[in-house]
Structure 1
Amino acid sequence: MHVAWASFLVALVVLMLVPGPDFVLITRNAALGMRWGVLTAAGVICGLLVHATAATLGLSALVAAVPTALFVVKVIGAAYLGYLGLATLRAARGGGAQPALTERTARAVFLRGVLGDLLNPKVMLIFLTLVPQAMDPQAAPLPQAALLSGVVVLTFAAFWALVVPLARQLAALLARPRARRVFERCCGAALLGMAASIIAV
């Protein structure tokens, strides 16, 4: 089995370093608190695991092959990102105060990470374009798809393990209400912009 590891890993790192909705959510929540960031990153990783499983089993390819199904996924994903963006902007108008992380809030933070990743069609397309291009056409596809999809998930997990503590350093800068409001507005605007870009693609 001759997997094109070099080109695969280079492309994966490039895609990983381009900021997307997951990056905005994790950075924003990590700035609120370490546990916020960890919960969001855990949710995103769970979403990646679902994408990886679906891609390995061929379900993602089936969705992508049906234009209507892919359009529905894009609309739902854009709508959810738009909702998150508006919610973030509302939090900024409220003064940007840090809410208490109760058990209910912790579940909500985790689920936002899961849904934010699951409803991002660009993540699904990573598994549909990057993984197949690296596979050996002469070898069995299922083991290769599982291996490469697992590498994608583990690489992103390692990346988030670095991002969360680094983003947490923003907490000192955001101690002032005005700075926090500006930060929240930037995150909200970024999420709204990404929602619009998903629909435009």
Structure 2
Amino acid sequence: MAAGSIAAFWGVALVLISTPGADWAFTLGAGLRGGSVLPAVGGLVLGYVLITAVVAAGVGALVASTPAVLAGLTVLGGAYLVWHGVVTCARPAVPATAADGPAGTDWNTLLKGIGVSGLNPKGLLLFLALLPQFTDPAASWPLAGQIGVLGMAFVVTCAVFYTGMGLLARIVLRARPAAARALGRVSGAAMVVLGGTLLAERLIA
């Protein structure tokens, strides 16, 4: 697998990571609750590590080669994004106050993060449908290893991007509740648009 393929995949991954969605909403919420954002980011990262392992085991190629399964996952993912987006728009994350009580344990936040990234349609579609296209079956090293390298490039980028976002939310947005609500609604609206686009592409086609 050429270095150019890794760079091309990283570019696609960075665009998707930078697009508001479920990971954004979860990270912003963790930052606005105060405390460390590392459990939230760690959960998101672990979820994507698990997806990488599943795809490297051969499930990604199987799903990508079965149009009906891929279409079904796309519809379910689109519906999930629309639902999550509507909920986020209606109840955007706001800075926590003393009256809100404890935000929950780091362990609970970690587990929620795994669930958020593990069920994130953006991540699932990237790993199942796009990632295998950047591998080289004729390369001298195993396909599973190539998928692992690409997956880790995505995971490291996620860790850096969402840690920065969480810290920004904690430092800057906690003092600006109106801005926090606005950013939360932007994230929700982006999820609705992306989910609606996925549904339209599959249901109209």
TM-score range, shorter chain: 0.7 to 0.9
Distance in 1 (alpha carbons) for counterparts of 2:101 and 2:63: 39
List per-residue Cα deviations over 1:35-64 (Å, max 9, x = no partner): 474333222212211220111111022122
Match of 1:5 among 3, 6, 10: 3
Alignment-derived partner of residue 29 in structure 2:
29
Distance in 2 (alpha carbons) for counterparts of 1:152 and 1:179: 29
TM-score scaled by structure 2? 0.73
List per-residue Cα deviations over 1:110-159 (Å, max 9, x = no partner): 45533332333442343343455243614232333333323332332233
Shift in alpha-carbon separation, 1:34–1:197, aligned structure 2, 3 A? farther
* Residue segments in structure 1 that go unaligned for 5+ positions in a row: none
One-letter identity of the residue aligned with 2:143 = P
Answer with 151-160 or 64-73: which moved more.
Answer: 151-160
Shift in alpha-carbon separation, 1:141–1:179, aligned structure 2, 3 A? closer
Shift in alpha-carbon separation, 1:155–1:88, aligned structure 2, 3 A? closer
> How far did 1:74 drift?
1.8
Once the two structures are superposed, the pairs formed by residues 45-56 of structure 1 within 5 Å of their partners are: 45-56=45-56
> How far did 1:19 drift?
1.4
Distance in 1 (alpha carbons) for counterparts of 2:75 and 2:112: 17
TM-score scaled by structure 1? 0.74
Distance in 2 (alpha carbons) for counterparts of 1:126 and 1:20: 15
* Residue segments in structure 2 that go unaligned for 5+ positions in a row: none
One-letter identity of the residue aligned with 1:159 = F
Q: What is the CA RMSD across the aligned residues, in angstroms?
A: 3.2
One-letter identity of the residue aligned with 1:137 = A
One-letter identity of the residue aligned with 2:147 = A
- Kept in 2: contact 1:131–1:145 (CA 8 A): yes
- Kept in 1: contact 2:85–2:191 (CA 8 A): yes
Alignment-derived partner of residue 135 in structure 1:
136
